[in-house]
Amino acid sequence: MTGAHWAALQTVAWTTMLANNLCTQSVSKAVAQTFDGEHLCPLCKVIAAAKKSEKKNDASAPTLKQEFPPLAAALILDPPSQFTEMSGMDFFTEPLTIKPPVPPPRSFSV
């Protein structure tokens, strides 16, 4: 759908063409001949033909209208009739209220 498969195949084709051209030509000539678009390998020809036929099929395909489900009625949150708030410990502030032991602990090296 995005054409990534054609890009991957084209990369394989160019890599193969470049490797074949490097066997007989200098690097600059091999790169120029690989990417000039005039010297297509059989795989490049197949890719180009497939891209053209895919574009024709996409142009003739009818566009579908997007349909969305109807919106639900307003959402109302109703708490239970007997609601009791549970007070719990505050785990974030409790460690701040603990005082250090007196006297301070002795070190083992003394």
How far CA 27 is from CA of 13, 57, 63, 98, 100, in Å, comes to: 17, 39, 47, 74, 75
Residue 107 in tokens: 């070190």
| Residues 68-93: tens digit of each pLDDT | 777 767 777 777 777 777 666 666 66
- Report in angstroms the alpha-carbon separations of 19 from 12, 29, 45, 71, 77: 11, 12, 18, 59, 67
Supply the pLDDT for residue 94.
61
User: What pLDDT shows up at residue 67?
Assistant: 75
Nearest residue to 9 via CA among 38, 52, 37, 45: 45
Q: Where are the domains of the chain?
A: 4-59
Residue entry with tokens 């002795």: 106
Q: What was the pLDDT predicted at 99?
A: 72
Q: What is the pTM of this model?
A: 0.47
pLDDT of residue 35: 86
What's the whole-number mean pLDDT along residues 51-63? Answer: 67
